[in-house]
Amino acid sequence: MKAILWVGIVVVSVLVAATVTIAINEQQAEAAEMSRRFTAQTTAMSDTDPVPGHSAHQLVLAVPPREDGQIWSGTVTWTSSIPVDVVVLHAYDPSMEIDERGEPLTAPSPFSDGVIAITLVHPDSGSVVPSGTLSFTGSALAFHTIDGTPFTITYTVDALAKKLNQ
């Protein structure tokens, strides 16, 4: 009788341990997926652009910069109080020797000690309402005005972090 009781206790202990292990693995997988996906819907008011030399501009950072060597790839849809530019930031290698072809728009990174390349898109929605939808790929995403006009924006973004092939 004692042997059967001990076998039962051992079986229950193994089942409990297996269930706990499965639950922990599921939580870890969910946390890993959450760090790879950025999904947000928000309304924000612009503030001073933090990029050095751009303090006369206004900016809303919509998708935060990645600091793990991965990039965001996704879609954003927005409506704003005035027409805005969409800014996609990219890591840039300043050690590259630049020749007569020139270099892209760059600035010191406000997020790290490096340099960023800046894609500036001025979308035309074809509507009287300043709004749009855009696919993007880069290190971060923001909305921006060069002339410094403050703005309010509502946006929805869904992005997935991807590893670079390099």
Instruction: Evaluate whether residue 71 is within a structural domain.
Output: yes
Instruction: Evaluate whether residue 85 is within a structural domain.
Output: yes
Distance CA 28, CA 31 (A): 5
Q: What is the pLDDT at residue 110?
A: 79
- Looking up residue 60, the CATH number of its domain turns out to be 2.60.120
What are phi and psi for residue 136, nearest 5 degrees? -145, 155
CA angle 128, 131, 135 (to 5 degrees): 145
Q: What is the pLDDT at residue 112?
A: 81
Q: Which residues pair with 158 in a beta bridge?
A: 39, 75
Instruction: Evaluate whether residue 10 is within a structural domain.
Output: no
Q: What is the pLDDT at residue 84?
A: 97
Whether 140 has a pLDDT exceeding 90, the answer reads: yes
Instruction: Evaluate whether residue 127 is within a structural domain.
Output: yes
Distance CA 76, CA 120 (A): 15
35-72 pLDDT, tens digit per residue, is 789 999 999 999 999 888 888 999 999 999 998 989 99
Which tokens belong to 75? 């879609």
For the chain, the first-to-last Cα distance in angstroms comes to 64
DSSP annotation string for 17-42: HHHHHHHHHHHHHHHHHHHHEEEEEE
Task: Tell me what the pLDDT averaged over the chain comes to.
Answer: 86
Instruction: Evaluate whether residue 5 is within a structural domain.
Output: no
Instruction: Evaluate whether residue 28 is within a structural domain.
Output: no
Number of domains in the chain: 1
Instruction: Evaluate whether residue 146 is within a structural domain.
Output: yes
Where do we find the tokens 């800046």?
A: 118
Instruction: Evaluate whether residue 112 is within a structural domain.
Output: yes
Which residues span the domain enclosing 105? Answer: 38-162
Residue 123: how many other CB atoms lie within 10 Å: 15
Distance CA 59, CA 106 (A): 17
Which tokens belong to 68? 């793990």
